[in-house]
Amino acid sequence: MENTAKKPCVVLGVTGGIAAYKACELLRLLQKRGIDVFVVMTKNACRFVAPLTFETLSGHPVATDTFERPATWEVEHIALAKRADLFVIAPATANVLGKLACGIADDMLTTTAMATRAPLLLAPAMNTGMWESAAVQQNVQTLRARGAHIVGPASGHLACGDSGAGKLEDVEVIAARAQALLSPKRDMEGLRVLVTAGPSREMIDPVRYLTNRSSGKMGYAVARAAQRRGAQVTLLSGPAALTPPADVTLVPFTTTQELLKQATALAPQMDVVVQAAAPADYRAEEVAKSKIKKRGGEALTLRLVENPDVAAAIGAGKRPGQVLVGFAAETDDVLTNAQAKLARKRLDLIVANDVTQPGAGFDVDTNIVTLITEADTRSLPLMSKDEAAERILDRAMALREERARKA
């Protein structure tokens, strides 16, 4: 007889979307990876796939409604919550994301999700308009900031006839992510990591400023990933409409000069510095004390002076063994420009992306990056910023090891 006692346990929550049928395949893939799967379904999910299907595939009873079996319901969701090493919700509808973000627990799935202390992996699937709606985006951000992991959605042709983001991520990708979460890397334990993120703001007058397009999402994803992997993280953040991850030290900055001051003070104590911030290269030579008024059609000339290059300053003070990572968001000659920056700023790794490509620009949750070191250039496919953050840290850690071997 097979011994299931030591198998890691995934509680798979299935909600009511057309992609619910794909959860059957996901369950199979998880089992193939040696994982024991228990299924919880919402009422609407049962309209798409019969609980019997999941019951037969999983070899366990399927939990569907807290009040259906009054004798056991009270303990059932708690028992499942405790049993879970990981809670996966696939597909996760807009409705369930909203409930989780707001703390609503009104059925078996949401009560179990609320009670569990296991990590939460959400695979959203819905119509593009719904996915892009402010409410869903805000809920996803809230859940992410609380530590939930989001996989997908992918883009493509949707069941409703639309094309765009909202497809359930490939089940192989979800299964791989689940397995990675069950055996998380803790390879950055004890390391001190500085991450810079977000734009700077350079005042022109009391009501106007110059800035760069940057949401801060990529930097925040790196900070979250490093913290998860055991690092002690300081996040030096420009004004960003994002909730900072729990357990990182947040140091705010507004101008590039402030960033320079803070970053150069913090960098010497750091093992790894990841500079995802987008500091403005120029600032107004003089900041007007009063609001600049219109001049009846006459052109306005602003004199700008160059800001310091923060990455170059940190590069100039680089300690042996320290790994410095920079970014290069480019529109033309991406690789040539990035390679030049790698050398000029004495970086060990530069993450280049062509911001003109769909899925790689600003404000989105995905990126298409190329990791460039002195030795090689590795292009990665479109992936979530969370996934890209992991790959960037993998490369930075490999560089650290190479250094240690050579030393």
| Inter-CA distances, 407 with 167, 366, 403, Å | 48, 37, 6
> Using CA atoms, how far apart are residues 385 and 395, in angstroms rounded to an integer?
15
* Backbone φ, ψ for residue 265 (5° rounding): -75, -35
Min dist CB 304 to ligand CTP, Å, is 13
Angle at 362 between CA 237 and CA 238, to 5 degrees: 15
Contacts of 230 by beta carbon, 8 Å cutoff, 6+ apart: 186, 187, 188, 189, 190, 191
- Residue 222 and residue 274 in contact, taking contact as beta carbons nearer than 8 Å: yes
Interface residues with ligand CTP (CB under 6 A) are 256, 275, 277, 279, 281, 307, 309-311, 326-329, 341, 345
Closest residue by Cα to residue 10 from 44, 32, 139, 169:
32
Long-range contacts of 152-156 (CB under 8 A, 24+ apart): 152/123, 152/124, 152/125, 152/384, 153/123, 153/124, 153/125, 153/126, 155/359
Contacts of 380 by beta carbon, 8 Å cutoff, 6+ apart: 368, 369, 370, 371, 388, 391
Residue 256, Cβ neighbours under 10 Å: how many? Answer: 27
Min dist CB 391 to ligand CTP, Å, is 17
